[in-house]
């Protein structure tokens, strides 16, 4: 039962549909103070349309709204304030959550249409650093949220497995590489060679030319170049698989840049056939002057292809293969111009579906206020951070609950959860300062705090020997219960909002609010020992566990029953 929708429909009816119900929902807000009600509708937007003062419109609307779920509806200046019937609404809400459990707040507006989500996409032969974390966890969360909204999701890991950096790496390996060292610690040694190349290239500019030559040989199918490239790729994928397993992230496709090598010529020919390809200083480009953008570079003068060539080819392949309704690209904000150009080139090619392609940018993870750089060796390895987080979680469990069963599994859930939540609680466009200390705190606005709240609620249910089939639920009308219920019934709207805005932080912040209100409820209400209404209180506790567990799942975290 969506009481927000009911309120919106009542307002829409009273306005003779001057606004749609969807418009009204977007405008409804939470009053600043509890004594002003549970829901508020501001009437400012209607003043010009109805040619009346907002306060008068508010009075007219308030006088027309009557519903059993509403205890009182009144005008407060330009606002229509609604006081919900606590007992009735809490009973309806808890019964609905308990009935639907994990299906509560599931939407159908996705209509089983297909979305492709391109995320993570690390570069081959480089370690999986903290810099790759954001795309991975934001993208993974968006896949869960999209599925919750009724979409069929294709998870794509567009590996960075081609480009001039491989010419540089092959050059470095040929000059300074040691096969035994690479076999022993492949990623660490390859990173060391990559960093050494850039250090030496600053002293000897001919190295850059050598790197370009090796990449050209790679593009032309040179046997030695391909053999080294495949070796670097295989070793990297093994490393990435370990990380993805720890994060519980999976993909439907690992087709990276190299996959499109034999498909790009068709793309270039098609662009040329349409008369879109022009020459600029020997290179081939698509002009975008009409959009006030620089030209999109399709092919260098030496014949080498670029990221844009591959992304155009990938888009065409994905549309043909998956018939997507939307294509999302979870890639850093520094690539905004690139994706803008690619989407506009597709539009100029006559593809109407290009407007359904969306770049979802995000900020950097900073270290000491600066962007991490692989080529300069300024990188924090994600695997090391995860291991340290798990170790810290293990120590905390040993100190607080040494008899806990499955300690290792819970430590992994809590340690990994701390890292993911630390990222997702921030709005994705903001930069995040890397701080192991802040990330691994087990109190405050952290993942472990939400997980612990879930475990505490589960503990109450175990002590009470809670029977999930018990239907003896009556309404709860005390203020502490009501604060929790009001939050629980917001969950469907939070999920829809997080999808529409492509913003998992909406869910993370909401879960922190639920955890905070539940802990406040627990400290004021003696759930098991107070007289009367025990089943209703337990229903509230159970409903809270359902919301916390499902919310954490949508973020990519697990919810231990004990901690």
Q: For position 354, what pLDDT does the model report?
A: 98
Count of domains forming the chain? 3
Task: Judge contact between 230 and 125, C-beta under 8 A.
Answer: no
DSSP 373: B
Nearest to 314 by CA among 183, 161, 479: 161
Establish if 545 belongs to a structural domain: yes
Same domain for 32 and 171, yes or no, is no
Q: Is 438 exposed, middle or buried (0-12, 13-18, 19+ CB in 10 A)?
A: middle
CA distance 481 to 540: 8
Q: For position 164, what pLDDT does the model report?
A: 85
**Three-state secondary-structure class, residue 68:** coil
Per residue in 371-399, pLDDT tens? 765 555 556 778 888 999 999 899 989 99
Same domain for 67 and 195, yes or no, is no
Same domain for 523 and 424, yes or no, is yes
- Partners of 75 in the beta sheet? 80
Task: Judge contact between 66 and 56, C-beta under 8 A.
Answer: no
Of the candidates 209, 230, 247, which is a domain's last residue? 247
DSSP per-residue letters across 256-294: -GGGGTTTHHHHHHHHHHTT-EEEETTEEEE--GGGT-P
Of the candidates 67, 84, 101, which is a domain's last residue? 84
Backbone angles phi, psi at 472, to 5 degrees: -80, 70
Establish if 270 belongs to a structural domain: no
CA distance 240 to 71: 56
Q: Which residues of 277-313 are buried (b: 16+ CB within 10 A; e: fewer)?
A: beeeeebbbbbbeeeeeebbbbbbeeebbbbbbbbbb
Task: Measure the CA dihedral 19/20/26/27, to 10°.
Answer: 20
Same domain for 63 and 170, yes or no, is no
Same domain for 52 and 186, yes or no, is no
Establish if 135 belongs to a structural domain: no
Same domain for 542 and 402, yes or no, is yes
Establish if 283 belongs to a structural domain: no
Same domain for 445 and 534, yes or no, is yes
Which residues 6+ apart lie within 8 Å of 380 measured at CB? 129, 130, 367, 372, 434
Task: Judge contact between 520 and 480, C-beta under 8 A.
Answer: yes
Look up tokens 């003043």; give the residue: 47
**Distances, alpha carbon 379 to alpha carbons 191, 192, 198, 375, 482, in Å:** 10, 12, 15, 9, 47
Task: Judge contact between 360 and 146, C-beta under 8 A.
Answer: no
Q: For position 368, what pLDDT does the model report?
A: 75
CA distance 563 to 549: 14
120 sits in the region (left: phi over 0; alpha: psi -120 to 50; else beta) called left
Same domain for 532 and 417, yes or no, is yes
Strands 114-118 and 152-156, bridge-based pairing: parallel
444 sits in the region (left: phi over 0; alpha: psi -120 to 50; else beta) called left
Same domain for 413 and 545, yes or no, is yes
- Partners of 152 in the beta sheet? 114
Task: Judge contact between 129 and 380, C-beta under 8 A.
Answer: yes
C-alpha R_g of the chain:
28
Task: Judge contact between 433 and 369, C-beta under 8 A.
Answer: yes
Dihedral sign, Cα of residue 208, residue 209, residue 215, residue 218: negative
Strands 296-299 and 326-330, bridge-based pairing: unpaired
29 sits in the region (left: phi over 0; alpha: psi -120 to 50; else beta) called beta
The CATH number of the domain where 531 resides is what? 1.10.730.10
CA distance 264 to 270: 10
What is the three-state SS of 83-121?
EECHHHHHHHHHHHHHHHHHHCCCCCCCCCCEEEEECCC
Establish if 310 belongs to a structural domain: no
Task: Judge contact between 171 and 197, C-beta under 8 A.
Answer: yes
Structure tokens at 113: 């249409």
Establish if 317 belongs to a structural domain: no
Of the candidates 33, 53, 84, which is a domain's last residue? 84
Task: Measure the CA dihedral 190/191/192/195, to 10°.
Answer: 120
Ranges of the chain whose pLDDT falls below 50: none
Structure tokens at 509: 């912040």
Same domain for 404 and 545, yes or no, is yes
Q: Which helix (H) or strand (E) holds 56?
A: helix 54-64
CA distance 563 to 128: 29
Question: How many alpha carbons lie under 13 Å from residue 354 in its C-beta half-sphere?
Answer: 18
Strands 365-367 and 432-433, bridge-based pairing: parallel
Q: Which helix (H) or strand (E) holds 329?
A: strand 326-330
Structure tokens at 4: 């927000």
Per residue in 319-338, pLDDT tens? 999 999 999 999 999 999 99
CA distance 506 to 491: 10
Q: For position 379, what pLDDT does the model report?
A: 62
Establish if 440 belongs to a structural domain: yes
Q: Which residues of 459-469 are buried (b: 16+ CB within 10 A; e: fewer)?
A: ebbeebebeee
Establish if 467 belongs to a structural domain: yes
- Give the structural domain span for 228: 164-247
Q: For position 131, what pLDDT does the model report?
A: 73
Structure tokens at 403: 């008899």
- pTM of this structure: 0.92
Task: Judge contact between 446 and 417, C-beta under 8 A.
Answer: no
The CATH number of the domain where 63 resides is what? 3.30.1360.70
CA distance 88 to 398: 44
Task: Judge contact between 335 and 118, C-beta under 8 A.
Answer: no
CA distance 357 to 365: 25
Same domain for 443 and 546, yes or no, is yes
């Amino acid at each position: 039962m969506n009481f927000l929708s009911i309120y919106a429909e009542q307002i829409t009816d009273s306005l003779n549909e001057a606004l749609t119900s969807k418009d009204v929902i977007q405008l409804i807000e939470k009053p600043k103070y509890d004594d002003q009600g549970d829901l508020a509708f501001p009437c400012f937007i209607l003043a010009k349309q109805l040619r009346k003062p907002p306060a008068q419109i508010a009075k007219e609307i308030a006088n027309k709204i009557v519903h059993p779920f509403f205890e009182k509806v009144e005008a407060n200046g330009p606002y229509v304030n609604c006081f919900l019937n606590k007992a009735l609404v809490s009973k309806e809400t808890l019964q609905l959550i308990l009935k639907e459990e994990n299906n509560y707040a599931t939407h159908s507006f996705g209509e089983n249409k297909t979305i492709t989500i391109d995320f993570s996409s690390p570069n081959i032969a480089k370690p999986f650093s903290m810099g790759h974390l954001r795309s991975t966890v934001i993208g993974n969360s968006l896949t869960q949220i999209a599925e919750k909204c009724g979409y069929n999701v294709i998870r794509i890991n567009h590996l960075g497995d081609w480009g001039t950096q491989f010419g540089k790496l092959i050059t470095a390996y040929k000059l300074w590489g040691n096969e035994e060292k690479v076999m022993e610690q492949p990623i660490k040694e390859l990173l060391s060679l990559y960093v050494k190349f850039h250090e030496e290239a600053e002293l000897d500019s001919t190295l850059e030319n050598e790197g370009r030559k090796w990449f050209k040989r790679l593009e032309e199918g040179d046997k030695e170049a391909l053999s080294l490239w495949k070796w670097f790729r295989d070793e990297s994928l093994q490393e990435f698989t370990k990380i993805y397993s720890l994060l519980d992230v999976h993909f439907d496709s690992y087709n990276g840049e190299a996959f499109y090598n034999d498909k790009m010529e068709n793309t270039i020919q098609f662009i040329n056939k349409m008369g879109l390809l022009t020459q600029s200083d020997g290179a081939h480009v698509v002009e975008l002057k009409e959009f006030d953008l620089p030209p999109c570079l399709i092919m260098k003068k030496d014949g080498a292809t670029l990221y844009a060539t591959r992304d155009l080819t990938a888009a065409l392949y994905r549309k043909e293969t998956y018939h997507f309704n939307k294509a999302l690209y979870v890639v850093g904000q520094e690539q905004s111009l690139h994706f803008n150009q690619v989407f506009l080139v597709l539009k100029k090619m006559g593809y109407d579906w290009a407007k359904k392609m969306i770049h979802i940018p995000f900020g950097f993870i900073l270290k000491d206020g600066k962007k991490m750089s692989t080529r300069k060796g300024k990188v924090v390895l994600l695997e090391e951070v995860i291991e340290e987080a798990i170790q810290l979680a293990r120590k905390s469990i040993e100190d607080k609950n040494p008899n806990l069963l499955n300690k290792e599994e819970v430590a992994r859930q809590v340690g990994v959860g701390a890292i993911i939540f630390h990222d997702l609680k921030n709005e994705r466009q903001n930069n995040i300062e890397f701080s192991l200390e802040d990330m691994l705190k087990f109190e405050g606005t952290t993942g472990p705090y939400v997980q612990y709240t879930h475990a505490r609620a589960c503990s109450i249910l175990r002590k009470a020997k809670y029977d999930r089939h018990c239907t003896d639920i009556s309404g709860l009308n005390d203020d502490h219960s009501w604060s929790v219920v009001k939050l629980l019934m917001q969950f469907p709207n939070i999920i829809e909002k997080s999808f529409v805005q492509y913003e998992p932080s909406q869910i993370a912040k909401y879960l922190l609010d639920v955890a905070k209100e539940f802990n406040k409820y627990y400290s004021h209400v003696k759930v098991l020992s107070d007289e009367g209404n025990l089943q209703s209180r337990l229903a509230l506790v159970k409903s809270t566990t359902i919301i916390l567990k499902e919310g954490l799942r949508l973020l990519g975290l697990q919810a231990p029953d004990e901690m």
